[in-house]
Amino acid sequence: MTPRGHQGGHLEGRTAAQTLVAALGRRRFLQAALGVGAGSALAAGAAVPAAAASPTSGSAAQAGRGAGAAHDAGAGRGSGRYSGILQPGKGRIRGDVYLGSDTDDVLWGYVPSVHADAVTRVRSGRTITIDSVSHEGILEDQGRDPVGYFAEHGVRRREVLDDAVAIADGYSRTARNFDVDGPHVVTGPVFVEGAEPGDVLKIETLEATPRVPYGVVSSRHGKGALAATAAGAPAGITLDEVMPPVATDGRDSGIPTEYGNVSVFAEVRGDHATMGSGRGRVRFPLRTFFGMMGVAYAETTNLTAPEANSIPPTLGGGNIDISHLGAGSTFYLPISAEGALFYVGDPHMAMGDGEVALTAMEGSLRGTFRLTVCKPGSGDAPSVAYSYPFAETADAWIPIGLSDPDGAVGGQLSDLDVAMRRAVVNALDFLEHDHGLDRAVAYAYLSAAADFAVSQVVDRTVGVHGLIRKSDLG
């Protein structure tokens, strides 16, 4: 994979060479030193063509496959069931292009801005397979040592992903601050040919396959549905009901491993996960999806600007955390940058609506996506999607509402009522403009037959989504 460029500025206190490596990525730096232009490398297809990603995987037979064949082969297959360790680039690669999560290229805790340099590019309508890395098991409060952390839960070294180990040990693109940065490992961005501001990027998830046989659900002090506030217990509960318990809060130490945060290990077998032990053991089905799918939205040139933090979702998508967006779903996002600059992260093996503890069952996934540019007036995307995230599954349309869709710009609003109102208005606009319903009839229909649910309450900007049955619309 050809590393992406730096978004702006320089890192003080480093030598010129170190600064260039951090800015360009190690391999692009070496290309520059050898006189190989980064532009020509990108034009050549910066990531590895799928056929070359794993010589022993049998994917070479797919080299000449058309995009339609890729869709048929990948849609809904291999998703939600663990069938073996997927180290970077190994095993079957379904997409036309493969992109890994290389240490020099990923962002940890931040998403690409509209000024970001792409790590690879794809043609509109073609597919890309991305090996994503979960942040759980590599974070500072877990020791930033996935081999050691997972060994405590009986995981063998060969079952720990090499890219997770490399990121935990060698990430240096930005200085990590556990108390400020987002947790997510963000892979991309991908330049989609023909995408321009004002268009919509149609993201079809064709595959979301577990790369490992385990996941983690974490609850951290000051975060989650039952978190304490600076003033004490939040409205509606007592201090004794705060989770994690207030008595275990060690954040004053300034040492993340002593914060008293709670991470629960979950074992995967086939298409189910288990956690707990003995009579306290619980088993539930996997429901794999990417909590984070986005396009560049923030205008900043600062890699670690608050508006680029990976936690709050925005009009560019990002950490949207809607559990219906697994294999077979389609997610539509309004484009703000040339090439769209698509990225993914926050891979989930399972999540309940609300994501109440703070995280889902987090676990690394291999995702395959078809990326298609939809032009205004083409009818290729719901009309709402040209100004706001929107989604669909085989059975339902999914209008979305966010409490503060510009992220950290101008403060952060975490009000579910605001998110609910926006989801309903977006549903009304869709039913009126795309399906010809009288607005009063559409409002009555939503009240009688549509379901609105809390997407998540833990991402600073909270979210609500609706489910409108396609069968009801004829």
Peptide bond into 399 cis (omega under 30): no
8 Å CB contact between 128 and 84: no
Per mean pLDDT, which range of 12-26, 223-237, 319-333, 416-430 is the poorest? 12-26
Q: Of 345, 292, 355, which is closest to residue 320 (Cα–Cα)?
A: 292
How does 80-109 read in b/e, with b if 16+ C-beta sit within 10 Å? bebeebbbbbbbbbbbbbbbbbbbbbbbbb
Tell the residue number behind the tokens 């999607």, with chain if given.
Answer: 385
How many angstroms separate the CA atoms of 308 and 328, rounded? 29
Q: Does the pLDDT value for residue 71 go beyond 80?
A: no
Question: What is the amino acid identity at position 108?
Answer: W
The answer to whether residue 77 scores a pLDDT higher than 70 is: no
pLDDT tens profile 3-56: 343 344 333 333 344 444 444 444 444 334 433 333 333 333 335 555 555 433
- Closest by CA to 298, choosing from 42, 7, 104, 3, is 7
Indicate the pLDDT class of residue 413, thresholds 50, 70 and 90. Answer: confident
Long-range contacts, 250-258 (Cβ 8 Å, 24+): 250/221, 251/221, 251/222, 256/139, 256/140, 256/141, 256/178, 257/140, 257/141, 257/142, 257/143
Distance (Å, whole) CA 76 – CA 328: 6
Give yes or no for residue 80 having a pLDDT over 60: yes
| pLDDT at residue 4 in the model | 41
Query: Residues 57-77: what's their mean pLDDT?
Result: 35
High-pLDDT (> 70) share of the chain, %: 83
Q: Assign residue 404 a region: left if phi > 0, alpha if psi is -120 to 50, beta otherwise?
A: beta
Q: Any idea which of 47-61, 126-140, 255-269 has the lowest mean pLDDT?
A: 47-61
Cα separation of 11 and 109, whole Å? 18
pLDDT of residue 111: 98
The larger pLDDT score, comparing residue 407 to residue 355, is at 355
Token representation of residue 446: 């939503």
How far is residue 9 CA from its own chain's centroid? 26
Could you tell me if 181 and 116 are in contact, meaning their C-beta atoms sit under 8 angstroms apart?
Answer: no
Separation of alpha carbons 200 and 428, rounded Å:
20
- Rounded Cα–Cα distance for residues 67 and 172 (Å): 36
Question: Is the bond preceding residue 189 a cis peptide, omega within 30 degrees?
Answer: yes
pTM score, whole prediction: 0.85
Q: What share of the chain is helix, strand, coil (3-state, %, to 5)?
A: 25, 25, 50
Q: Tell me: the pLDDT tens digits for 145-162?
A: 999 999 999 999 999 999
Q: What is the pLDDT of residue 79?
A: 61
**What distance in Å separates the CA atoms of residue 392 and residue 408, rounded to the nearest whole number?**
27
Residue 117 has pLDDT above 80, yes or no: yes
Residue 38, helix vs strand vs coil: helix
The answer on pLDDT for 96 being more than 90 is yes
pLDDT tier for residue 410 given thresholds of 50, 70 and 90: confident
- pLDDT mean over 86-110: 97
CB 163 within 8 A of CB 102: yes
Q: Determine the pLDDT at residue 65.
A: 34
Higher pLDDT, 250 or 44: 250
| pLDDT interval class at 359 (50, 70, 90) | very high
Q: What is the pLDDT at residue 474?
A: 78
Query: What pLDDT is attached to residue 48?
Result: 55
- % pLDDT > 90, the chain: 81
Question: How many CB atoms sit inside 10 A of residue 324's CB?
Answer: 20
In the numeric block, which tokens belong to residue 467? Answer: 């489910």
Token digits of residue 238: 């007592």
Nearest one of 403, 416, 401, 414 to 446, comparing CA atoms: 401
For the record, the structure tokens of 359 come out as 């995280």
Q: At a CB cut-off of 8 Å and minimum separation 6, what does 157 contact?
A: 147, 151
